[in-house]
């Protein structure tokens, strides 16, 4: 199964706030100056937060690192304190 099975690469949201990201992470994204997710971020973030495995291919500078880091941070923030490493 691939992301293109579930997401159309031609659609793009206008904001990170529609991707299911926690308010704390949304605030950090705003402070860093990001306002619109790239195509790879729009497709990967909701799937990863939902627990899907992700393989993302995109050009250098397209936002792959943030597409990976946001779900990792989200998962860490939503884990009970006892499970955090």
Write the pLDDT tens digit of every residue in 9-26. 545 657 999 999 999 999
pTM score over 0.85: no
User: And the tokens for 63?
Assistant: 């936002």
**16 SS3 class:** helix
CB atoms within 10 A of CB 70: 27
User: And the tokens for 43?
Assistant: 């497709």
Q: Kindly state the percentage of the chain with pLDDT values over 70.
A: 79
Lowest-pLDDT choice from 8-12, 13-17, 51-55, 71-75:
8-12
Residue 11: its pLDDT value, please? 57
Q: What is the mean pLDDT of residues 62-68?
A: 94
Q: At what angle do helices 64-78 and 39-49 cross, to 10 degrees?
A: 30
């Amino acid at each position: 199964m691939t992301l293109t099975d579930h997401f159309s690469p031609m659609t793009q949201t206008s904001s990170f706030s529609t991707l299911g990201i926690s308010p704390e992470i949304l605030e950090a994204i705003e402070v860093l100056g990001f306002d619109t997710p790239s195509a790879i971020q729009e497709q990967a973030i909701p799937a990863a937060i939902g627990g899907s495995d992700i393989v993302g291919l995109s050009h250098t500078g397209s936002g792959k690192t943030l597409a990976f880091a946001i779900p990792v941070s989200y998962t860490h923030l939503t884990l009970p304190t006892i499970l955090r490493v």
